[in-house]
């Protein structure tokens, strides 16, 4: 059976990221614009238990788990990439960008931590040697995602780079110049977004076949890595997260994408407060959940695919000179056995 509840103790400002621990589907990290990172055990007591709070000096824009359930990395408006020891609360600055740092992501297979910043660089940290290198990007980093072998970087100006993680690992291993240690790594592929508007989020398929990206104009594109014509001709984009009010189409940005680790289907979360599950292979919407009370800023499936965490915060819209007040909450949805299963899978 599926059920849904909200965490009892929520951040006080916008939620920038929610992430489940790799080995535990009840351990959840939440980063917020209120300058804190929160660690919860979602099922220790009803409404979840706040285990710890890690204060930062600036709004935290992203968070990810590291090599185990007790290591995390954060980044934020203060230009720093930090390592958090979740047991002791100790924070170490790993590197500093020249601008706010939008994303951090960890690849366990290659033991690499990658951060992407608005200063148009990536920092690639080799966690086994604590070496790190800088890779120049043509424009600002807006979203990062890793598959088992690739890193997808979505940037402003609708650019998209796909790197082989092995190339990155090699480049960092070979170069140990002092910071910023700029290395030249050619992307495995450079693409332009197939959507007309700014890219909002990108997420890789867990089976390493491709990725989905979303734009601020209520659209999601699904593409495949394989450069062959046959695979490329399979790519498509579709409209979603829109509603018609008085004959006017209101188009919301699609802030969040997350792939289900088991079924390979994916969820999209939009400014309209709607979370929808899609079967990217069969081009079907599986289901759409009841509207959440505010914009969906971020989402994550737990490692076993049993839970979906949804970060809900009021959305930032055109013409606002302050953040709107509204609900800031993390919802945990327990998925039924077949809830996120695609069409093909259910036939078996």
Partner 1 sequence: MTKRKRQYPTLQQKLDRPWCYYCERDFDDLKILISHQKAKHFKCDKCNRRLNTAGGLSVHMNQVHKENLTKVENANPDRQSLDIEIFGMEGIPAEVVDQHNQEVTSKHFAEEQERARLTGNPVHDAFGAGGQLAKKQKVEETIEGIKKRIVEFKENIANGGMQMNGSGGPVQPIGSQPPLPHLGHSQPTASLPAIPGGPSPPPANPFAAPQQAPQQQPQHPFPPAVPQALPPRPPGHPNAALVASVDELISSAAKDAKDVKDAKEGKAGGSSKKEKNIRLVFSGDTESPEERMVRLGRFEFAA
87-90 long-range Cβ contacts below 8 angstroms, 24+ apart:
89/52, 89/54
Q: To the nearest whole angstrom, how small is the minimum distance from the Cβ of residue 111 to partner 1?
A: 28
Closer residue to partner 1 (CB): 70 or 139: 139
Is 321 a binding residue for partner 1 by CB under 8 A? The answer is yes
Is 100 a binding residue for partner 1 by CB under 8 A? The answer is yes
Closer residue to partner 1 (CB): 102 or 110: 102
Tokens 């599986």 correspond to: 286
Using CB under 8 A, which residues numbered 143 to 162 contact partner 1? Answer: 156-157
The helix (run of H) or strand (run of E) holding residue 89 is none
Q: To the nearest whole angstrom, how small is the minimum distance from the Cβ of residue 271 to partner 1?
A: 5
User: Using CB under 8 A, which of 7, 14, 104, 342 touches partner 1?
Assistant: 14
Is 251 a binding residue for partner 1 by CB under 8 A? The answer is yes
Q: To the nearest whole angstrom, how small is the minimum distance from the Cβ of residue 239 to partner 1?
A: 9
- Residue 198, helix vs strand vs coil: coil
User: Using CB under 8 A, which of 11, 187, 264, 271 touches partner 1?
Assistant: 271
CB atoms under 10 Å from CB of 46, counted, come to 8
Closer residue to partner 1 (CB): 33 or 225: 33
User: Using CB under 8 A, which of 90, 208, 249, 304 touches partner 1?
Assistant: 249
Q: To the nearest whole angstrom, how small is the minimum distance from the Cβ of residue 317 to partner 1?
A: 5
Determine the Cα–Cα distance for residues 211 and 188; give it in Å rounded to an integer.
15
Stretch that binds partner 1, among 41-49, 108-116, 176-184, 319-327 (CB under 8 A): 319-327
CA distances to 117, 126, 181, 182 from 132, in Å: 15, 6, 7, 9
The answer to whether 168 and 123 are in contact (CB under 8 A) is no
The answer to whether 204 and 164 are in contact (CB under 8 A) is no
Determine the Cα–Cα distance for residues 9 and 282; give it in Å rounded to an integer.
39
Which of 249, 251, 297, 309 lies closest to 273, judged by CA? 297
DSSP 247-299: TEEEE--EEEEEE-TTT--EEEEETTS-EEEEETTTTEEEEEPPPPSS-EEEE
Is 209 a binding residue for partner 1 by CB under 8 A? The answer is no
One character per residue 216-235, x = contact with partner 1 (rule: CB under 8 A): xx------------------
User: Using CB under 8 A, which of 38, 106, 142, 266 touches partner 1?
Assistant: 142
Stretch that binds partner 1, among 4-12, 55-63, 261-269, 279-287 (CB under 8 A): 55-63
Residues in touch with partner 1 (CB under 8 A): 14, 16, 33, 57-59, 61, 77-79, 100, 102, 118, 140, 142, 156-157, 196-198, 200, 216-217, 247-253, 271, 315-318, 321-323
């Amino acid at each position: 059976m599926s059920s849904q509840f909200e965490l009892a103790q929520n951040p006080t400002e916008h939620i920038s990221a929610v992430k489940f621990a790799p080995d535990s589907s009840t351990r959840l990290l939440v980063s917020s614009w209120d300058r804190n990172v929160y660690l919860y055990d979602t099922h220790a007591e009803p409404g979840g238990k706040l285990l710890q709070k890690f204060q930062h000096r600036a709004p935290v824009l992203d968070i990810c788990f590291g090599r185990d359930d007790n290591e995390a990395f954060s980044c934020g408006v203060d230009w720093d990439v930090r390592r958090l020891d979740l047991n002791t609360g100790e924070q170490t600055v790993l590197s500093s960008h020249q601008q706010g740092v939008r994303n951090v992501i960890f690849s366990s297979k290659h033991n690499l931590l990658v951060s992407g910043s608005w200063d148009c660089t990536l920092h690639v940290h080799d966690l086994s040697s604590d070496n790190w290198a800088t890779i120049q990007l043509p424009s600002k980093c807006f979203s990062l995602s890793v598959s088992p072998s690739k890193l997808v970087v979505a940037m402003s100006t609708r650019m998209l780079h796909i790197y082989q993680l092995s190339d990155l690992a090699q480049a960092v291993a070979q170069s140990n110049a002092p910071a910023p240690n700029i290395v030249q790594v050619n992307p495995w592929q450079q693409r332009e977004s197939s959507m007309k508007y700014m890219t909002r989020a990108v997420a890789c398929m867990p089976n390493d076949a491709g990725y989905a990206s979303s734009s601020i104009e209520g659209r999601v594109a699904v593409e495949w890595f394989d450069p062959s014509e046959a695979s490329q001709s399979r790519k498509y984009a579709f409209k979603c997260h829109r509603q018609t009010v008085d004959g006017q189409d209101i188009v919301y940005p699609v802030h969040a994408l997350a792939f289900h680790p088991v079924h390979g289907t994916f969820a999209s979360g939009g400014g309209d407060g709607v979370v929808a599950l899609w079967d990217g292979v069969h081009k079907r919407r599986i289901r759409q959940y009841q509207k959440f009370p505010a914009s969906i800023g971020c989402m994550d499936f737990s490692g076993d695919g049993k839970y979906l965490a949804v970060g809900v915060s009021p959305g930032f819209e055109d013409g606002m000179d302050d953040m709107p007040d509204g609900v800031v909450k993390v919802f945990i949805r327990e998925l039924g056995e077949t809830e996120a299963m695609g069409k093909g899978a259910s036939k078996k």
